[in-house]
Structure 1
Amino acid sequence: MLKAKNTDSSIIINPFEGREITYAFHDIDGTHSLIREWPPVMSICLYDVIERGISEDFDSPENAKRLIDLAGSKPLPETDRFCIESAGLSALTQMEWAIRRAVEEGTVTINCNMENNSAIIKRIWDGEEYYDDLPDTDEMKAMLTDKTPRLFKLYEAVLNGYCRDKNLEIAKKDPEKFLVGGSMEFMKFLSDNGVKNYFVTGAVVEKGMGMHEEVEALGFKIGEGELVEDIIGSTWTEKMPKDMVMKKMMSELGLKGENILVVGDGRAEISAGAEMGALCISRLPQNALYQRKLHKELGSNIIVEDYLGEELKEIFTV
């Protein structure tokens, strides 16, 4: 039995009541794994759509190569900031935001309700993924159904070429290089003390591929009774917002929010965790000042740069 209690530590930013922890829901990218250097890749992909629109062959291998060469080459204020604000949302929602921004800017022409479109853009920025009260035209729906998954796959192709494939091969030989400090030990500590760990990600999960392959390369065993019970993610065509996934898991497993630990670096999982009444740990670098301020406002309880510090260990007792 693992218990969590308040201490006088500076890593506690929002005090919490003592509780027993039985389950833990973990984000992957930036929380435990450093394989995917995704922000500059997503930023250029979204920026390019907003600035240039969507040609018939926008997802061609040639365009992917062009974007690989451009990724990280210069600051892109709007899309760089959006990547920070939207961390943890479904990738499909992030892609949709860029297409809607292109419509707003006039680089994509489509029959739509511009007022609703602009309202949806703002709501995505604020962390929402469903907005059925703001209807789209049939033309807009058809365009998004076609173009959003294609942009998602283009982003993944650019990510693979920019860093993912290279880093994955290195991680297979030297996993520590791409693990947040103390990550594996912290997960084992939780598991050894009766906590069931789950990975929840906005990335596509296909056994032996993509994110699934990455976490296995880092040494995380996945399966019932293993270090990680399961990894739950998105699909190429269907949004799976983390708040809905986590709340569904809580219901199906018959859990109380107070007995869940949520560990992440994105607003989606931290916001959902706080709403559920879970104990929330944000994994953010010391220099991520804006994100740290945001996570405190979202209701995170603890902020750490890694999982090595004694202050974190002192919060948990057996």
Structure 2
Amino acid sequence: METLRNWSSLCGYFVFIFLTTVSKDACFSEGSACEAPTSPECFTKNAIETVYNCEWSMNRTDGIVTFDLYFNSKTKFEVFNKTWHTIPEEKLIQRREVFIWVEAHVGNSSCSSPRRSVVLRDIVKYDAPQITSMSWSNSSLSLMWEAPEKHPALTEVWLRGDGHPAELRKETFTRINTDQVTVANLSQHSTHWVQIRQRSTQVKSPLWSNWSPWVKVPAELAHAPEVNVTTKRLNGTREVTLTWKLRSHAAAAAAGVTYQLSDTQSSLGCPCARTEKRRHYLF
């Protein structure tokens, strides 16, 4: 805020006095301007993790940036030229409220992020999930990934059609099983792109994970291959050979292709009928 006061002298001249007030969290500079970083987010990657990860962002300059990460006024960590820092839990106040902020120093310029009040123990942010496999059942697509912990979680799914990035569909699921979700009512004749993210339901202030990479789901994965069967008798037994056309390289590259063979024709007296036989081919 600037205030302009006009004082008149005896000689007919005017004297101008500027009164300037600078916000506590604004940038201050002796050289070039510095743009304030965002407020830091500090979290563990699951409910039992003992290391806190702190992240923030800032429009970088050409110069070297040094950050001071504060937890209240007495706890400070210096971070050199990066926008993240990891801290063991024993160095922090975890179970009661603290104020966190970060100061950036670029040359002779310094600026500070807004201050946030948090309880660190209440904050969990999972790693971005990595889709490991996909399967179709009628018009429903199931997505699988490795769960970060064995607790209910919130999962969000984004889908878009191939070649139509603006046509997005979002669905949110809460599941006991935290490593699988099924999206219904999808066209089996169209190629889809899909990505997911997840959030803990076990703490008071969970953060969404980053999004997984986009994964392509070719339309041909939704249809079972046409199987040819040939039978040959060998000394009182039958040798059955199944053949089918392999998926295209584009479909196989989406997430690998698994073929499952189930024997439903053998008699109950046959030992091979008691367990389901599977063969896997990954390309």
Q: For the pair shown, which has the larger CA radius of gyration, 1 or 2?
A: 2
Q: Which has the higher contact order (CA 8 A, sep 6+)?
A: 1
Q: Tell me which protein shows more strand as a share of its residues.
A: 2
TM-score by length of structure 1 reads 0.19
Structure with bigger helix share is 1
